[in-house]
Structure 1
Amino acid sequence: MPSVATQTLSTERMISGPTSSATDGDVIWVPSKSIWTCSLTLIALVFGPATFGWDAFALFVVTTAVTICAGHSVGMHRLLIHRSFQTSKAVEYILVYLGTLVGMAGPFGMIHAHDIRDWAQRQHECHPLHAHRRWFLADAWWQMHCAVKLRQPPTFVIEKVVREDQFYQFIERTWMAQQLPWAALFFFVGGWSWLVWGIAVRVSVSLTGHWLIGHFAHRRGHQGWSVDNVAVQGYNLPAFGLVTFGEAFHGNHHAFPQSARLGLERGQIDLGWTLIQGLMVLGLAKEVKLPENTQPRDGLRRVAGEEAYVPRTCLQTCKGCPISAGRT
């Protein structure tokens, strides 16, 4: 029987100091982020309807699915940030590059944005921006155009193997410009309609969708598990599991952050996990982390009255383990 994997949380890149505070900070406007988001959204709104065609729409659907599923969900989130599985460097580069094409940030920026939020949400209290506590439109402005500048932040240290990787350094410097070769290709093949729908509509919809899921998944929804003594809980949004490729099962992710599988309960379709399973069949993914072979989070407990995930071959059989305690 395999041994339980050592828990390595993404928050280990965020090193708390004696005065580190997740609440003391100001929300500041980030011009580059705001201009990027506004420009692409404006182009999509103005020129999207005028250039609509079913071929352009099909391009939008396919490229959005590939970049969000293989790139953002599997490459950036589950692989680069959480190291939920291992793969070859070539496959890792391809997946993370596809994640860069989503248009949120480069690899270092994505790691920092995720980890500072994750660190803040694990504290007893955190800034409202990191908790998505503002009302709908105010939160949209904060999340897509601003950032919180903490006065006493934790020290952020990316692991050396990633920090010194020349490929990651290159796409971090050029992540916005990575859209240009594809823009040229789409224009050459399909004209203005392919350019608008393959770049502007795709990126703006991806950015807006990412915020929407984050907004609601930290406020309400299905919750099979809760984590004690933290500022923010995660919730599942089952209706959006399919179109987010599993990322909408955020309550599961808060419960088991290292797990490569996010859709843990019956009926929760997780196409990101399906892709990882495909990589496993091809011998391209190994050392896959699941709730069965990772340490449970401190303070994890089952929510009364909810049907929570219980691994079929759970290795956590020690007394007091919240997974074992959740068996029915």
Structure 2
Amino acid sequence: MIAKTVSNPYIHRLQRRHFLLFDILPIIGTAVAIGFLWVRPFGALEFGLLFGLWLITGLGITAGYHRLFTHRTFKATGWVAALLAIAGSMAGQGPVISWVALHRRHHECSDQEGDPHSPNLSGDGWRGALRGLAHSHFLWMHRHEYPNVVHYAPDLLKDRSLVRISRLYYWWIVLGLAIPALIGGLVTLSWTGAVSGLLWGGFVRIFVLEHIVWAINSFLHMFGTRPYDSRENSHNGGIFALITFGESWHNNHHAFPESPSFGLQWYRLDPGYWLIRLLAGAGLAWDLRMPSESRMAAKRIQLAP
């Protein structure tokens, strides 16, 4: 029988290293970027690099890591899938196969024992709530049981291209840092432009995107609206839909994890789904499996009169 999780000193050393490199270092890099404003002010170049890389890597996470690889909500051509996996890798949130295994484990045990990052298992009262938020938002990544990819992601392990991309994870992060540094240096023809590009398009971008994603794990499992019945404590935070690429329709997603649209209705902002529809319109994605109106109606929570 295949073990569902793996926990040993070697795995914990890897987790600690990743935590320091890609969770703590971006905080330091953001502080350095603020200090570097004395050398080079924040301008159009910095904004463009921050926004552009944030958009690319954020869409890589939501459309690639989450909707395509974890939940198989649509199918895509091989090169599109590879680009989404590489873009998601540059976000610094873990190799694609590991990320998928963790997220499938989260859905299996959501807000129950075994959930890697639930905010609702740390005790009662405001102290328990604060401990839970700190754990689910940030601290859980330092050390946790590692979901066995053989159990949780056997389909991805059969994809040789995806396995190769996953193994090159650290190189994709280096690429995600090198691109803004190179652009900044070439545009300004100066070392200050290169450093500023590295800081704002690299470290600050990783810091911003990480905390947006982590807030879904933490705050949206405690606060927000719940239009649909689901066994865990997921909530929607529609006001944050744009900056989360549609991920903040979190209750919708937990109620219908097979749906490529997290907003479910056309008028709900969902940039991740917009990208998938754009790919489908170009013939690069297909088999989008939306829940039926009757299924959504059956799961809708009826408010008391």
Is TM-score (shorter-chain normalized) higher than 0.5? Answer: yes
Aligned to 1:208: 211
- Higher mean alpha-carbon deviation, 277-286 vs 166-175, is at 166-175
Specify the SS of the correspondent of 2:76: coil
Aligned to 1:305: 303
- Higher mean alpha-carbon deviation, 210-219 vs 139-148, is at 139-148
Q: CA separation in 2, counterparts of 1:131 and 1:179?
A: 27
Aligned to 2:25: 39
Say yes or no: does 1:66 pair with 2:56: yes
Cα displacement (A) at 1:53: 2.0
Q: CA separation in 2, counterparts of 1:76 and 1:202?
A: 18
Cα displacement (A) at 1:129: 4.8
Q: CA separation in 1, counterparts of 2:48 and 2:257?
A: 33
Contact 1:233-1:254 within 8 A present in 2 as well: no
After TM superposition, list the pairs within 5 Å mapping 1:100-119 onto structure 2.
Answer: 100-119=89-108
Specify the SS of the correspondent of 1:195: helix
Unaligned runs of 5+ in 2: 6-11, 123-129, 185-193
After TM superposition, list the pairs within 5 Å mapping 1:1-328 onto structure 2.
Answer: 30-36=15-21, 37-51=23-37, 52-54=41-43, 55-69=45-59, 71-121=60-110, 125-127=112-114, 129-133=116-120, 134=122, 135=130, 136-148=133-145, 156-160=151-155, 162-190=156-184, 191-227=194-230, 230=231, 232-265=232-265, 267-292=267-292, 301-305=299-303
User: If the length of structure 2 is used for normalisation, what is the TM-score?
Assistant: 0.79
AA of the residue aligned to 2:157:
R
AA of the residue aligned to 2:52:
V
AA of the residue aligned to 2:301:
V
Cα displacement (A) at 1:286: 1.1
AA of the residue aligned to 1:253:
H
AA of the residue aligned to 1:184:
A
Cα separation, partners in 2 of 1:288 and 1:131, compared to 1, 3 Å: same
Specify the SS of the correspondent of 1:156: helix
Q: CA separation in 2, counterparts of 1:129 and 1:284?
A: 34
Aligned to 1:11: none
Q: CA separation in 2, counterparts of 1:114 and 1:60?
A: 26
Cα displacement (A) at 1:167: 2.6
Residues 64-115 of structure 1: CA distance to partner in whole angstroms, max 9, x if unpaired? 012112x011111111111111111111111111111111011111111101
Cα displacement (A) at 1:181: 2.9
AA of the residue aligned to 1:302:
R
Contact 1:234-1:250 within 8 A present in 2 as well: yes
Cα separation, partners in 2 of 1:157 and 1:277, compared to 1, 3 Å: closer
How many residues align? The count is: 272
Q: CA separation in 2, counterparts of 1:241 and 1:84?
A: 19
- Higher mean alpha-carbon deviation, 171-180 vs 248-257, is at 171-180
Q: CA separation in 1, counterparts of 2:77 and 2:168?
A: 23
Q: CA separation in 2, counterparts of 1:91 and 1:164?
A: 18
Cα separation, partners in 2 of 1:258 and 1:101, compared to 1, 3 Å: same
Q: CA separation in 1, counterparts of 2:76 and 2:164?
A: 21
Identity level (%):
24
Root-mean-square deviation (Å): 2.9
Cα displacement (A) at 1:290: 0.4
Unaligned runs of 5+ in 1: 1-14, 22-27, 307-328
Cα displacement (A) at 1:180: 1.9
Contact 2:74-2:287 within 8 A present in 1 as well: yes
Contact 1:63-1:198 within 8 A present in 2 as well: yes
Q: CA separation in 1, counterparts of 2:274 and 2:249?
A: 15
Contact 2:177-2:202 within 8 A present in 1 as well: yes
Q: CA separation in 2, counterparts of 1:215 and 1:16?
A: 30
Q: CA separation in 1, counterparts of 2:2 and 2:265?
A: 34
Q: CA separation in 2, counterparts of 1:115 and 1:272?
A: 19
Write 1 or 2 for the structure with the bigger share of helix. Answer: 2
